[in-house]
Amino acid sequence: MDVTDDQVHGNQEGAFFNSYYHGVCYAPLYIFCGHHLLVAKLRSSNVDPADGALDELQRIIGLIREKWSETHILVRGDSAYAREEIFYFVKISL
């Protein structure tokens, strides 16, 4: 799980200057399973990096559990995702 920048040029709706990425961009949220992309959510760059991450984790883990209830799931993200609500969900779900 990670966020990155998608630099834009011109006046794109929802794009903002982000000082971390040094430019006007979007900040899409990505969730992968190995090399397989599970989520690509386009977001404005003026949001918290963890914005929407819990909702997407709940959705994806729910779908995985429907098909493969016993599979081992590892959730990994950088410090931007160190949130109590994310930790709690992962603890009770995995």
Q: Per-residue pLDDT averaged across 66-82, rounded?
A: 94
| Cβ atoms 61, 45 nearer than 8 A | no
Say yes or no to pLDDT of 94 above 90: no
Give the rounded percent of residues in the chain with a pLDDT score beyond 90: 96
Give the whole-angstrom CA distance, residue 91 versus residue 3. 22
Task: State which residues form the domain around 37.
Answer: 2-93
18-37, pLDDT tens digit by residue? 999 999 999 999 999 999 99
| Cβ atoms 7, 25 nearer than 8 A | yes
Q: CA torsion, points 85, 87, 91, 93, in degrees to nearest 10?
A: 60
- Domains held by the chain: number: 1
Q: Per-residue pLDDT averaged across 52-71, rounded?
A: 96
**Mean pLDDT across the chain, nearest whole number?**
95
